[in-house]
Amino acid sequence: GIQVEQSPPDLILQEGANSTLRCNFSDSVNNLQWFHQNPWGQLINLFYIPSGTKQNGRLSATTVATERYSLLYISSSQTTDSGVYFCAVGGNTPLVFGKGTRLSVIA
């Protein structure tokens, strides 16, 4: 099956800093989603981005499907950005999740 690797596994940032999270996947996909799991356990859908670039406020994402990776950019980080960020991919199958990047933003 599809393998998904996320890096880094942990990230600590000072408030206001920028960061880039990476997701590598092992096979071609036609579904890629980025999620933020908040401290209450809720999975918040950030982007549906099987290819191309999208932006939503301080967050943006780019997927280069031909090279099998996706990047999530967080700019001017805030303490509310803390949590775990998951990349999930799928072909004609249900989503396969990476292990996530745990982000801690310190005031």
Which of 18/48 has CB closer to another protein?
Answer: 48
Q: Are strands 59-64 and 69-74 parallel, antiparallel or unpaired?
A: antiparallel
- Name residue 86's beta-bridge partners: 35
Residue type present at position 39: P
With contact defined as beta carbons under 8 Å apart, do 70 and 87 qualify? yes
x/- string (CB under 8 A) for another protein, residues 49-88?
A: -x-----------------------------------x-x
* DSSP 8-state class, residue 26: S
Looking at residues 4 to 43 of the shown chain, list those that interact with another protein (rule: CB under 8 A): 30-31, 33, 35, 41-43
Among 45, 7, 43, 35, residue whose Cα is nearest residue 23? 7
Task: Reduce the DSSP state of residue 80 to 3 states and report it.
Answer: helix
Stretch of 15-23, 54-62, 65-73, 96-104 lying at the interface with another protein (CB under 8 A): 96-104
58 or 99: whose CB is closer to another protein? 99
Q: What is the contact surface with another protein in residues (CB under 8 A)?
A: 30-31, 33, 35, 41-43, 45, 48, 50, 86, 88, 90-97, 99-100
